[in-house]
Amino acid sequence: MNKNLLRLGVVLGALILLAVGSSVLPMVLPPIVFRVVMLCGIAIIMSVSLNIINGFTGQFSIGHAGFQAVGAYSAAALTVYGHDRLFPFLPKDGTFSSPMYSLTSGAPAMILALLLGGSLSALIGYIVGLPSLRLRGDYLAIVTLGFGEIIRVVVENTDAVGGPRGFSGVSGGAQVPALTNFFWVYGVALLAIVVARNLRFSVLGLSFLSVREDEIAAQAMGINTTRVKVRGFVLGAFFAGMAGVLFAHLERTVLISSFNFDKSFGFVTMVVLGGLGSVTGSVLAAIVLTTLPEVLRAWGADQYRLVIYALLLVLMMLLRPQGIFGRGELSLGKLFGWGKDKKN
Amino acid sequence: MDVIQNLINGVQLGSIYVLIALGYTMVYGVLRLINFAHSDVFMVGAFVGYYTAVKLAAMGWLTKQTTLLGGILHLLPVMLVSMAVCVVLGLIIERLAYRPLRRAPRLTALITAIGVSLLLEGAAQLPFVFGVDPKFYPEILPSGPEATMHFHTFWGSELTVSKNALVIVFTAFLLMGILWFIVQKTKMGKAMRAVSHDFDAAGLMGINTDVVISFTFGLGAALAAAGGVLFGALTFKSILPLMGVQMGLKAFVAAVVGGIGSIPGAMLGGMLMGITESFVKGAPAIKIGSLTIDPSRWTDALAFIILIVVLLVRPAGILGKNTPEKV
């Protein structure tokens, strides 16, 4: 009872902090820095959710941006085409006068968009994952790579979402509203982190880890390995879809080139550098690798980005294959020596 | 009429897929590793061929040809240089990136392979390497009417076959023949088959597995380079640092469809992939009510739809053997 009360307090405190941050940060920070902060949040959602697939269940998905694209396009279509019927209270040109206003009046639209984008992406994750996860080995890598390609072709041939030109709304009609703000980005990021962290120490999560460690042994212990892998994959796809929704309503022009293989590869780099299976690692790597290109751009060294990422990845694999954090986590308790240490 | 024309185009495209797919399948056979960097070896092969061709053309040794034999003879030096450079590249990649990970988990090797691939792509795009602008091969065999042969099929329709298509198919089949000879008739080929059958047992039988693996990488890189030159000089004429991504993916899918690890499987899969793609490209638009679907715009997605279907129906591929994993 007391513990539940404490939890409620923590949740309420987090919500208040997020809401305060949402209204204060855009005023305090310069727009460029604020944009990077938002992109970091979205990258955290992507890398933590990819870590559930690649780190916890030991599979290898390299098309995570494809699921982000599913979320982004479906949610943008919802908020644009559903504007008149569902959300007539939103401004038609999609711009809000203040971040607080977008948070309060946009909340129903954002919640609906997040749910739609996440579930559609999870559904597609199920369809893509089921045939490839039945097999052992590297097939998932190829299928997810191909999946990104299929999404690109589908989007480019769908005029309702702008085709190759990108999608920002109906000309003369509703535009993609600027619903994304600090509250939603970091709220979903926190949710992803909490889900991933709790998953790790739960029974379900243990079955995930056992599949990673030894699939044959896990099967012998009575674990339905295909079901476990598909569950991990669908959960990862769900969060990726939500990240896509947030991205679409932050950028307000959805371009298919924002979800290409380069981006997917960036998320893989984050997870691998941070440490496959370490939530802390993927959060930190997401922040560093999202900020790094901006710094490189400021130095005029943007063209070296791909080379630097790739080199980092290869060197990391050769010298420290478990990533910076390995499978360890950094927690406040450990840092300050509070309470009992939880060993993984 | 269109059927045969599509078939010819398909075999032309399929020949290049086969040349790339063979490299994937051979490396997978000996190492159980998807060598993602292979598609970029193909790209480097096309670029090396381009620089060689430009050099030769500047020296006056490479001129426009209209005969079949002239085309092959003028293509040969370009191809040989490119193959030699790519063999060295393949060996370097294997030595530096994959050999230290021989005993590492497969995921580590896979991530490294992707890293190497991205490294090659990123390096190729740098302005002082190849640059991002498309490069145009000097013309060796024109695809216009001066080097096109016309046939009349016996039911009266006309069939056009460009000579460069013939050169591509001829070269590809010649290389496949050489590969077949190496794998089946030489001692090194026997060692390759042994390593691919059982890595550890082959080592115990006194086969130097490291040499065999290096040889396999070299062989695959040479075939990919040949494919790159054929693709750049005769099919597309313009080359880009990212051209390997699409081609490599489709070739890999072809290898999986044929049965990864199996050399005849890669040949079959590559041809199937090329022919299917050419038929879909040539198919007329379908009208359903007010909706018009133009299949030619969907060719890029086709390969993966085929892949997903094959994985559902026959995961080991058409010619692959389904081996259950033992403890």
- Predicted pLDDT at A260: 84
Q: Which of A102-116, B55-69, B164-178 has the highest mean pLDDT?
A: B164-178
Query: Do the Cβ atoms of A276 and B107 come within 8 Å?
Result: yes
Report the pLDDT averaged over residues A18-23. 83
- Predicted pLDDT at A333: 58
Phi–psi pair at A254, nearest 5 degrees:
-95, 120
* Minimal Cβ distance to B311: which of A135, A154, A216: A135
Question: SS3 for B55?
Answer: helix
- Predicted pLDDT at A342: 46
**Burial track B173-204 (b if 16+ CB lie within 10 A, e otherwise):** eebbeebeeebeeeeebebbbbbbeebeebee
| A144-153, A216-225, A299-308, A334-343, range with the lowest pLDDT | A334-343
Q: Which of A59, A142, A216, A268 to mutate to test the interface with B (most CBs of B within 10 A)?
A: A142
CB–CB of A143/B308 below 8 Å?
yes
Report the pLDDT averaged over residues B180-201. 93
* Minimal Cβ distance to B112: which of A131, A142, A314: A314
User: Whats the size of chain B, residue-wise?
Assistant: 327
Distance CA B237, CA B162 (A): 14
Q: Give yes or no for residue A134 having a pLDDT over 50.
A: yes
Q: Give yes or no for residue A344 having a pLDDT over 50.
A: no
Q: Which of A309, A314, A315 to mutate to test the interface with B (most CBs of B within 10 A)?
A: A314
- Predicted pLDDT at B323: 66
Q: Give yes or no for residue A73 having a pLDDT over 90.
A: yes
| A285-294, A335-344, B90-99, range with the lowest pLDDT | A335-344
Band (A52; pLDDT cuts 50, 70, 90): very high
Q: Please provide the average confidence, as pLDDT, over all residues in chain A.
A: 86
Q: Give me the interface pTM, i.e. the ipTM.
A: 0.80
| A104-113, B39-48, B148-157, B235-244, range with the lowest pLDDT | B148-157
Ramachandran area for residue A23 (φ above 0: left; ψ -120 to 50: alpha; else beta) = alpha
- Predicted pLDDT at A21: 82
Residue A306 sits at the chain B interface (C-beta within 8 Å): yes
- Predicted pLDDT at B48: 95
* Minimal Cβ distance to B256: which of A142, A216, A321: A142
CB–CB of A131/B310 below 8 Å?
no
Query: A332: Cβ–Cβ under 8 A, 6 or more apart, which residues?
Result: A338
Q: Please provide the average confidence, as pLDDT, over all residues in chain B.
A: 87
CB–CB of B228/B45 below 8 Å?
yes
Q: Which two tokens stand for residue A200?
A: 């790790």
Query: Do the Cβ atoms of A314 and B97 come within 8 Å?
Result: yes
Distance CA B46, CA B79 (A): 9
Q: Give yes or no for residue B326 having a pLDDT over 60.
A: no
What whole-number percentage of chain B has pLDDT above 70? Answer: 94
What whole-number percentage of chain A has pLDDT above 70? Answer: 95
Distance CA A121, CA A242 (A): 8
What whole-number percentage of chain B has pLDDT above 90? Answer: 44
DSSP B137: P
- Predicted pLDDT at A17: 86
Read off the pLDDT of residues B247-296 as tens digits, 9 standing for 90 and up: 898 999 899 899 888 899 999 999 999 999 988 888 777 777 666 777 77
Q: How far is A214 from chain B (nearest CA, A)?
A: 10
**Burial track B109-130 (b if 16+ CB lie within 10 A, e otherwise):** bbbbbbbbbbbbbbbbbeeeeb
Report the pLDDT averaged over residues B107-113. 84
CB–CB of A26/A99 below 8 Å?
yes
Band (A141; pLDDT cuts 50, 70, 90): confident
Q: Give yes or no for residue A237 having a pLDDT over 50.
A: yes
Which residues on chain A are in Cβ contact (under 8 Å) with B300? 149, 152-153
Query: A321: Cβ–Cβ under 8 A, 6 or more apart, which residues?
Result: B101, B104, B105, B108
**For chains A and B, what is the number of CB pairs under 8 angstroms?**
118
Query: Do the Cβ atoms of A60 and B110 come within 8 Å?
Result: yes
What whole-number percentage of chain A has pLDDT above 90? Answer: 30
Query: A78: Cβ–Cβ under 8 A, 6 or more apart, which residues?
Result: A86, A112, A113, A116, A117
Query: Do the Cβ atoms of B115 and A137 come within 8 Å?
Result: no
Report the pLDDT averaged over residues A125-150. 82
Read off the pLDDT of residues B118-147 as tens digits, 9 standing for 90 and up: 899 989 988 888 888 888 988 877 766 667
Handedness of CA A166, A167, A171, A172 (dihedral sign): negative
Read off the pLDDT of residues A5-19 as tens digits, 9 standing for 90 and up: 888 888 888 888 888
Report the pLDDT averaged over residues A101-109. 80
- Predicted pLDDT at B5: 81
Query: Do the Cβ atoms of A318 and B101 come within 8 Å?
Result: yes
- Predicted pLDDT at A341: 47
Query: B11: Cβ–Cβ under 8 A, 6 or more apart, which residues?
Result: B169, B271, B274, B275
Number of CB atoms found within 10 A of residue B135's CB: 17
Read off the pLDDT of residues B197-231 as tens digits, 9 standing for 90 and up: 888 999 999 999 999 999 999 999 999 999 999 99
- Predicted pLDDT at B321: 74
Distance CA A266, CA A286 (A): 9
Query: Do the Cβ atoms of B34 and A142 come within 8 Å?
Result: yes
- Predicted pLDDT at B228: 94
Taking Cα atoms as reference points, which of A166, A212, A190, A189 lies closest to residue A72? A166
Query: Do the Cβ atoms of B115 and A143 come within 8 Å?
Result: no
| A132-146, B43-57, B164-178, range with the lowest pLDDT | A132-146
H or E segment to which residue A103 belongs? helix A99-133
